[in-house]
Chains A and B, each alone.
Chain A
Amino acid sequence: MTIVEDNRHLRGALLPILHALQEEFGYIDEQAIPLLATELNLSRADVHGVVSFYHEFRREKPGRHIIKVCRAEACQSMGANALVDHIKTRLQVDFHGTTADGAFTLEPVFCLGNCALSPAVMIDENLHGRVSLDRFDELAAETRANPTAHQQIPRALSHSHKGHAQ
């Protein structure tokens, strides 16, 4: 519960706390909901409502790496639909699913802000542009082979002033 203590002073603390929990554990455990409700003097329904409203908050433990693939219009114009089909076939998962070996969880996303270099994919916190089908396979293989790849950029989402690369 140090996460709660670290953020309790913030106004509108629930979202920062949920982000910090997800960074720590990879998802928001069901058991956290009544605890947060008690700590923040909210109803369980309030906390559940917030967790379930936002696409970013996961309710189940994800794989070791998160692959976010953009489904929005700019990426569609450059073949994102075919890329999505390829990724699903290659990893043998549907959206929100985790590969059998626990390496990847696949998530859809609407826009990664890389619309001039479409199609775009984000693996953990690393953005990739002009992702052809072959390029995706390379990236997936590199990520599998390099368990620390996702730590190239320090965690940015927690409440701190020290998240800068290099």
Chain B
Amino acid sequence: MSGHLITVFVPRDSAALSVGADAVAAAIRAEASSRGLPLRIVRNGSRGMLYLEPLVEVETPEGRVAYGPVTPADVPGLFDAGFLTGGTHALGHGLTEEIPYFKKQERLTFARCGIIDPLSVEDYRAHGGFRGLENALAMTQADIVKMVTDSGLRGRGGAGFPTGIKWNTVMQAKADEKFVCCNADEGDSGTFADRMIIEGDPFCLIEGMTIAAIAVGATSGYVYMRSEYPHATATLRHAIKLAYDEGWLGDNIHGTDRTFHLDVRVGAGAYICGEETAMLESLEGKRGMVRAKPPLPALEGLFGKPTVVNNVLSLCSVPIILDKGGAYYRDFGVGRSRGTLPFQLAGNLRQGGIVEKAFGITLHELLYDFGGGTITGRPIRAVQVGGPLGAYLPPSQFDLPKDYEAFAAQDAMVGHGGIVVFDDSVDMAQQARFAMEFCVAESCGKCTPCRIGSTRGMETLDKIIAGKNVDANLDLLADLCDVMVDGSLCAMGGMTPYPVRSAVKHFPEDFRKKQHAVRVTHIAAE
């Protein structure tokens, strides 16, 4: 890269594109050309401050300077203000890394996201990429597994199972073939971290999967993507091709005797395929029906072979652990929740985006210090934490620290770190009904409590909302929730009651609106 050429960064992340980043990049190119100013535009990932997208950055001697949200109409004014040298403008935020939202974060997994060109191996290497893999290539399988175990890393998909223990089971299994599968079926509403890192730092996932494969003795792997993420899928496919071209994937990786082949498969709009055994069925080309466990996928997984199934964020946390050591990662966090989690602030918030912090941060800090309250300006009434199967929490629980055990103690879950915010216009009875409706639409149908229970639950909630026998129907609903929790094969039916029960528990008045209305009308008539 030529030293004097000014570099401008305009993200190619889907969220940035969704609010016009391509048009902004085109406008900058056209304006520069008409003014005869040579510049280089890098299409980076997102910094995660999605409320500022499209966030344009300019490289200056002091560091990268941020402007956003930029529209094509703002571009001539930015040039007039001298933004190419960091000039002052109404959309300016100063140095990107000094923006409090960004500065207060602890970026381990997302360290490179938004900084590098996602499809440049050279850029990836220059920012510490492949150092973890290089270390792993010189280590024994047992030492790699031990380092991951020592880091305290737990599955970031939601279940929180210790990654090192899973890897150890696969490593010790005897088989002619083993697999590493990445679950990128990020279907939970309020979550987008998997998509962002795949679009912003895809080599990190490739590196993490390759380390996993070396550790357990697997020679091939798959990333299971969502069909709703075409841009991430295209980015990952391109990155895999580049990794093959440069010898980071394939036979005899960088001259060693290690081999790993990686391919991408795309789901087809079934939420249940985010459940690991349903995902394996889908990878085998079948209906995404949940398997009974045991056998564990670690022993009998894809095509009946021992298989590591990990979430994107778990695998993307592996390179830094292998680079800096298990203790480095373990030093972040609280209790048995070690390291960091990229929280995703979503829904009705002024400042939505990615906030990567060590475990232990409270919801209150995330919602107000980072999120800035609601975009509608109304009070926050409820937040749903951990996706559509996660509990709805009222403001009285916002001081709960983000920690797997603290949340579990409240019948809630940290899950994949998604936080969806609702203001006081929300009708929690309708949200409870939606939880059941979602389960009706997305249940794989294998077990009765989930398949039938969700339909009966939706019908019962319809009666409650209509004000019919509310007390009796709430009892029936509670009973049905018990059956679903205790009798379902997987978390789909087993956790759908969490949002329902929490809505009833924390917002009981919403389930009696019609009942009261009916009574008032009745009294008025008398």
Chain A residues near B (Cβ < 8 Å): 11-16, 18-19, 46, 49-50, 53-57, 68, 70, 72-78, 109-118, 120, 122, 125-130, 152-154, 156-157, 160-166
Q: Which 3 A-B pairs have the closest CB atoms?
A: A116-B352, A72-B189, A54-B268
B interface residues with partner A (beta carbon < 8 Å): 12, 14-15, 17-19, 22, 43, 50-51, 53, 119, 186-192, 194-195, 226-235, 237-238, 240-241, 244, 265-271, 282-288, 303, 344-349, 352-353, 375, 384, 388, 418, 420-423, 426, 431, 434, 438, 441-442
Is the CB–CB distance between A129 and B18 below 8 Å?
yes
Asked if A116 and B18 sit within 8 Å, CB to CB, the answer is: no
- Residues of chain A lying within 8 A (CB to CB) of residue B186: 111, 113
- Given A54-B270, A78-B348, A129-B19, decide whether A111 and B51 contact each other with a Cβ distance below 8 A: no
Is there contact, CB below 8 Å, between B227 and A11?
Answer: no
The smallest beta-carbon distance between B277 and chain A, in angstroms, is: 14
Looking at the complex, which one of B229, B270, B344 makes contact with A116 (CB distance below 8 Å)?
A: B344
Contact between chains at B18 and A56 (CB < 8 Å): no
Q: For residue B234, which residues in chain A have a CB less than 8 angstroms away from its CB?
A: 153-154, 156, 163-165
Closest to A163 in B: B234
Sample of 16 A–B contacts (CB below 8 Å) = A12-B286, A18-B268, A19-B268, A77-B420, A77-B422, A78-B347, A110-B187, A110-B442, A113-B14, A115-B344, A116-B344, A117-B53, A129-B15, A129-B19, A163-B237, A166-B43
Question: Which B residue sits closest to A17, measured CB to CB?
Answer: B285
Closest A residue to B345 by CB, please name it: A116
Question: 19 new A-B pairs (CB below 8 Å) besides A113-B228, A129-B15?
Answer: A12-B265, A12-B284, A55-B269, A55-B270, A77-B420, A113-B14, A114-B18, A115-B190, A116-B192, A116-B346, A118-B348, A125-B230, A126-B17, A127-B18, A128-B19, A157-B230, A161-B241, A163-B237, A164-B235
Given the complex of chains A and B, what is the CA–CA distance between A3 and B195 in angstroms?
A: 28
Bound-state CA distance A16–B232 (Å) is 17
Tell me how far the C-beta of B367 lies from the nearest C-beta in chain A, rounded to whole angstroms: 13
B266 CB, nearest partner CB in chain A, Å? 5
Complex contact B266–A73 (CB within 8 A): no
Say whether A112 contacts B287, CB under 8 Å.
Answer: no
Q: Which residues from chain A contact B349 at a C-beta distance below 8 Å?
A: 116
**Distance of A142 Cα from B53 Cα, bound (Å):** 22
Q: Is the CB of A77 within 8 A of B347?
A: yes
CA distance A73 to B376 in the complex (A): 16
Nearest CB on B from A115, distance (A): 3
Contacts of B14 in A (CB 8 A): 113-114, 127
Contacts of A157 in B (CB 8 A): 227, 230, 233, 266
On whether the beta carbons of A73 and B347 are closer than 8 Å, the reply is: yes
Q: Are A73 and B15 in contact (CB under 8 A)?
A: no
Beta-carbon contact of B53 and A110 below 8 Å: no
Nearest residue in B to A122 (C-beta to C-beta)? B228
Closest-by-CB residue of A relative to B347 is: A77
A15 to B, closest residue via Cβ: B285
Q: How far is the CB of A16 from chain B (nearest CB, A)?
A: 7
Contacts of B231 in A (CB 8 A): 125, 127, 153, 156, 165
Beyond A73-B434, A163-B233, whether A116 also contacts B50 by CB under 8 A is: yes
Give complex CA distance A49, B15 in Å.
Answer: 34
Q: Please state if B269 and A74 are interface contacts (CB–CB under 8 Å).
A: no
Taking CB atoms, residues of chain A closer than 8 Å to B12 are: 165
Contacts A15-B266, A115-B352, A129-B18 known; A75 to B230 CB distance under 8 Å?
A: no
Question: Chain A residues near B237 (CB, 8 Å)?
Answer: 156, 160-164
Cβ–Cβ contact A118 & B347, under 8 A: yes
- Given contacts A54-B270, A55-B270, A109-B269, are A117 and B384 in contact (CB under 8 A)? no
User: In the complex, what distance in Å separates the CA atom of A115 from the CA atom of B418?
Assistant: 9
Do B270 and A53 touch across chains, with their CB atoms under 8 A apart? yes
Residue of A nearest to B266 (CB): A157
Indicate if the CB atoms of A56 and B284 lie closer than 8 Å: no
B440 to chain A, nearest CB (A): 12
Assess whether B268 is in contact with A11, with CB atoms less than 8 Å apart: no
Q: Shortest distance in angstroms between B507's beta carbon and chain A's nearest beta carbon? A: 15
* CB–CB A15/B265 < 8 A: yes
CA distance A15 to B407 in the complex (A): 37
Indicate which residue in B268, B347, B421 contacts A15 across the interface (CB closer than 8 Å): B268
Complex Cα spacing A108 to B75, Å = 35
Distance of A11 Cα from B181 Cα, bound (Å): 14
Contact, CB under 8 Å: B268 / A57: yes
Please give, as numbers and ranges, the residues of chain A lying within 8 Å of B288 by CB-CB distance.
53-54
> Which of chain B's residues have a CB closer than 8 A to the CB of A72?
189-190, 388, 438
A73/B189 in contact, CB under 8 A: yes
Q: Which residues of A contact B282 (CB under 8 A)?
A: 15
Nearest CB in chain A: distance from B55 CB, A: 12
CB neighbours (8 Å) of B284 from chain A are: 11-12
Q: Which chain A residues lie closer than 8 Å to B353 at the CB level?
A: 116
Q: B361 → chain A, closest Cβ, in Å?
A: 18
Task: For B384, give its contact among A16, A53, A73, A154 (CB under 8 Å).
Answer: A73
Known contacts A129-B15, A153-B231, A154-B234: does B388 contact A73 (CB below 8 Å)?
yes
- In the complex, A56→B268 CA distance in Å? 5
How far does the alpha carbon of A76 sit from the alpha carbon of B286 in the complex, in Å? 32
